[in-house]
Amino acid sequence: MLFLTGTRADFGKIKSLIAALEARSEFEVFVFVTGMHLQKEYGYTLIEIQHCGFSHVHTFENHTHETTMDLTLAKTIEGLSHYVKQVDPDMIVVHGDRVETLAGAIVGSLNNILVAHIEGGELSGTVDELIRHSVSKLSHIHFVSNQDAARRLIQMGETETSVFTIGSPDVDIMFSDKLPDLETVKEYYAIPFHDYALAMFHPVTTEAGDMKRYADDFVDALLEDERNYVLIYPNNDLGSRYILDAYKKLENHKRFRIFPSLRFEYFLVLLHHAKFVIGNSSAGIREAPYYGIPVINIGTRQQNRALHADIVNVAYDRQSLKTALSGIAEHTIGETRSDFGKGDSTKLFIDSVLDAKLWEINQQKQFRDN
């Protein structure tokens, strides 16, 4: 089996699955590492993958100077196509709605390799919506987070027997008893704050022309606030340069610690103890509600995503952000619905791939009227 990973976020979702398969003699696991993992500006997170000690890790640089998604897609397809012909996998496992994900699904489907898509059937904001559903139609097997996602896939013509509801694998890690304690994390990253909020702001590709203004307003609102912040770099989508440029205003400021990336387990610990989250990261929609953390969700990036708590949704402008920040301390979190699993996603995934019937799924897909 071959797993493809292009970002710190998707690796956090599939890490436990890879480790579980590596521990079993029935499987030989290959990990194709590309995208942000190989960019020093974003933390060179290949190092974190190497620390896992997986048997077969292959790297491929898909970054282009033009940084357009179509060229990244084309280059990733080329690199992955060469690699699958070397290792001849029976299945390619992809996650989510990134360009690298689409490349994996294209290479698998056009080479008669089973493609398994993790967390398909969900709603995404902006162009990610198109990519996620395109990947689903190119995939043969679907490991989904909840029944709503399963229903959407069946509505799209996928067969019920190809859809497996396992929850979200990162929930397994969120409630693991192997996470480090907060003081260990703070010491490792030299975070001096007792209280802090997490800030994660990503570009919106369909609003690239406005990202400079959005980024400047975001940073100005944080500067006008009086609380401490741990900021994490955006992903490398079109418009990220505006955000990184805006973050320069925060360099050497005593209330801010800025990181290109964080170890996933360490990030979860910081999230768990944060006073609130602000930005447009899926972590504010998916993980934060599990920990009961208030969230200020900015703009359209998470539009239509499943919301599982009383999340404060605001516009991009500085005044809206200031208003939200002024009231977040009093914001109360309602009861969270556990729509992304119960922490047993890895077991459910392993049970599924051990079932011989899964491997009998026909690579020649047919649309199923429902």
Query: Given a cut of 70, is residue 306 above it in pLDDT?
Result: no
HSE at residue 132, side-chain half, CA atoms within 13 A, is 20
Read off the pLDDT of residues 321-334 as tens digits, 9 standing for 90 and up: 999 999 998 876 66
Total domains in the chain come to: 2
Residues 159 and 249 in one domain: no
- SS3 assignment, position 295: strand
Query: Given a cut of 60, is residue 308 above it in pLDDT?
Result: no
For residue 279, the cross-strand partners are 200, 297
If you average pLDDT over every residue of the chain, what do you get?
91
Read off the pLDDT of residues 102-120 as tens digits, 9 standing for 90 and up: 999 999 999 999 999 999 9
Q: Spell 189-219 as b/e; 16+ CB within 10 A means b.
A: eebebeebbbbbbbbbbbbeeebeebbbbbb
Domain of 291? 182-330
| Residue 322: per-residue pLDDT | 96
Q: What CATH number does residue 64 fall under?
A: 3.40.50.2000
Residues 70 and 187 in one domain: no
Residues 227 and 117 in one domain: no
Contact assessment for residue 142 and residue 135, using Cβ atoms and an 8 Å cutoff: no
With respect to residue 120, please indicate whether it lies within any of the assigned structural domains: yes
Q: Which of the 8 DSSP states describes residue 200? A: E
Q: Which residue reads 């047993």 in tokens?
A: 344
| Residue 238: per-residue pLDDT | 84
Distances (CA, A) of 49 to 18, 116, 256, 275: 11, 21, 27, 29
Residues 297 and 319 in one domain: yes
Residues 123 and 216 in one domain: no
Residues 138 and 228 in one domain: no
